[in-house]
Amino acid sequence: MKSTALRFAAFLALWATFSACGGDTAAGITDPGTPKDTTTTKTQTQVTTTARVNALLNEIVNANAAASQGNSASGIPGSPPAEPGFSAPGANFASAPDNSALCVLDTLTVRFNCPSQTAQNGVVTTMYFQLLDSAGTPMRGFDTLKTVSVRRVSDKKGSYSSPLMTQSGPIPAIDSINNHEDMLLAAAKSAPHKLNGTGQMNVVIAAEGRTPAYITAPTTTENVGFFTDSTKHYPNSGKVTAVVATVQAGVNTATTTQVTTYDGTEIAKLVITGQFGLNRTCTYNMTSQAPPVCTP
């Protein structure tokens, strides 16, 4: 069962792919403002509303990518491959996938529904977002004076074939996922941007000849902050916590708590604690493709 529990940490690495409005619009970690003009002939660069909204949405995506980069530190050799069009652990966080221009306003719920994305393995990701004023009331459009926060809600569902690694080698298995995330980015101009929210990951691993394993991981994002310097596309404060529990044949066989913290440097710290005295500390460079370094 240990291999099944370790296997689930790989699913946490997919947390960064919770984006449904695909696109290649470049956006910084904060409101891009007017880019610095270094040419000898000065020109006026106008920042569109779409670019501003994309920048805010992609702060959330960047935070997810930063956390997921460490959540794969589980003893599994390697992480799941990145899906086309989505951010990946260790990727350049500035190239985020959300593109609000593809999303449509629902006037009844006052939210912007984005097109669903279907991965090559058949997993479907959906997302919508809301622009909120100081009272938390949804708005029908972005207002530079009144919009103070952005809510981003995403879901990921589907089943696909993925062999389960065991001591005797891989065996056929079907993974089914049903994940949900609800994030709120406080983005008032007069204060540092802060991200808070919750998520719920649900995975069933049905391996050939074995009792299915049911794995859950509620996640909490607390006061994750960002640089105003748009060249640094990673969090500088706050933490992300995931509590991973595995149940097989009605018995809880493993529970771990994974806490990722940010201290203003490019190095993030992940502490994993659990049953039987498990206490593992990992660090990783959020600007690098290098895997986490863990002790013990």
Q: Could you give the C-alpha distances from 229 to 25, 41, 81, in angstroms and in order?
A: 19, 24, 30
Residue 93 in contact with residue 16, Cβ under 8 Å?
no
Could you tell me the residue ranges of all domains in the chain?
2-32+45-295
Tens of pLDDT, residues 11-30: 443 333 333 333 333 222 23
The pLDDT of residue 1 is 52
Q: Which residues of the chain have pLDDT under 50?
A: 8-46, 74-96
- pLDDT the model gives residue 97: 57
Q: Which pLDDT does position 289 carry in this prediction?
A: 82
Chain segment 202-252, per-residue pLDDT in tens:
999 999 999 999 999 999 999 999 988 778 889 999 999 999 999 998 888
- Phi/psi region, residue 220 (left: phi>0; alpha: psi -120 to 50; beta: rest), is beta
Q: What is the pLDDT of residue 113?
A: 97
Nearest to 129 by CA among 147, 157, 110: 110
Neighbours of 229 (CB within 10 A): 11
Question: Which residue reads 């240990």 in tokens?
Answer: 2
pLDDT value of position 165? 85
pLDDT for res 166 = 86
Number of separate helices (H) and strands (E) present in the chain: 2, 16
Residue 48 CA to residue 32 CA, distance in Å, equals 10
What pLDDT shows up at residue 74?
A: 46
